[in-house]
Amino acid sequence: MSLEIENLHVRVEGGDEILHGVDLRVEKGQTHALMGPNGSGKSTLANTIMGNPNYELTEGSIVLNGEDLTEADPDERARAGIFMAFQYPATIPGVSVANFMRLAVNAGREEPIRVKEFGALLRKNMEMLKIDPQFTKRYLNEGFSGGEKKRAEILQLAMLRPEIAVLDETDSGLDIDALRIVSDGVNELRGPDLGALIITHYTRILRYVRPEFVHIMLDGRIVREGGAELADQLEAEGYEGVRAEVAASAG
């Protein structure tokens, strides 16, 4: 059970190549961190994994549990078990958090979930994530703080229980509370059934969520891989240290 990305070359429609051959394998039960400086291609990889049509894959493959999703549309990928945070970042006026969660759950099912069953599932997950029940009555993302958006995102993750979750923590304005919400949520949901790929350019979040695997991306390539100690090294040396090392080893 795994997400296998092989030799991914990606460009923006009509633009230059951004990813120059990325290999990455995330197995169920593992937590990975993808790190890299601004503009290194992390979000491009996340968008490509989800099948965002603005990103053109010119070479390589994306396979989930043996099923080739390279050409699949985003819906198909979601149904196959890939979850992407901020898939629906927009405010949806008139749609409460609870209703949105029901739509999201039903999108992955043949038969709509029964009202009672949905209510029980929502309550269970809110309890686990320590979310105030009042929260689900609000309209999705309307006037939400950064922390509340994160709460909705993690609740969605808990409700959908995907096999692979990609969390692109692009928000540089993420305060410590929001960071805690994401980390606590991920730690709560970690286990043999979830493979997580946490994308960030800060090492901060990794103090709360210790990944088993760390990948460092520079200029559209993964240049270093290791365990959690790699994140510590990064915190000490910064990306410039890695960049210098890579340049030196390239001769």
Ligand X SMILES: Nc1ncnc2c1ncn2[C@@H]1O[C@H](COP(=O)(O)OP(=O)(O)OP(=O)(O)O)[C@@H](O)[C@H]1O
Binding residues for Mg ion, per CB under 5 A?
A: 42-43, 170
Binding status of residue 201 toward ligand X by CB under 6 A: yes
Tokens linked to 23:
């290999």
Q: Which of residues 86-125 bind ligand X (CB under 6 A)?
A: none
- What phi and psi, each to the nearest 5 degrees, are found at residue 203? -85, -10
Q: Which of residues 14-43 bind ligand X (CB under 6 A)?
A: 15, 18, 36, 38-43
Binding status of residue 84 toward ligand X by CB under 6 A: no
| DSSP state letters, 83-137 | EETTSS-S--TT-BHHHHHHHHHHHT-SSPPPHHHHHHHHHHHHHHTT--GGGGG
* Min CB(238)–ligand X separation in Å: 14
Spell out the alpha helix ranges (H) of the chain: 42-50, 74-80, 97-107, 115-128, 146-160, 176-189, 228-249
| DSSP state letters, 140-155 | TTTT--HHHHHHHHHH
Q: Which does 106 bind (CB under 5 to 8 A by kind): Mg ion, ligand X, none?
A: none
Whichever of 29 and 37 has its CB closer to ligand X, that residue is: 37
Q: Which does 41 bind (CB under 5 to 8 A by kind): Mg ion, ligand X, none?
A: ligand X
* Min CB(185)–Mg ion separation in Å: 20
Residue in 44, 48, 125, 156 binding ligand X, rule: CB under 6 A: 44
- What phi and psi, each to the nearest 5 degrees, are found at residue 98? -60, -45
Tokens linked to 45:
């990889």
Whichever of 105 and 217 has its CB closer to ligand X, that residue is: 217
Name the residues that contact ligand X, by CB under 6 A.
12, 15, 18, 36, 38-44, 54, 170, 201
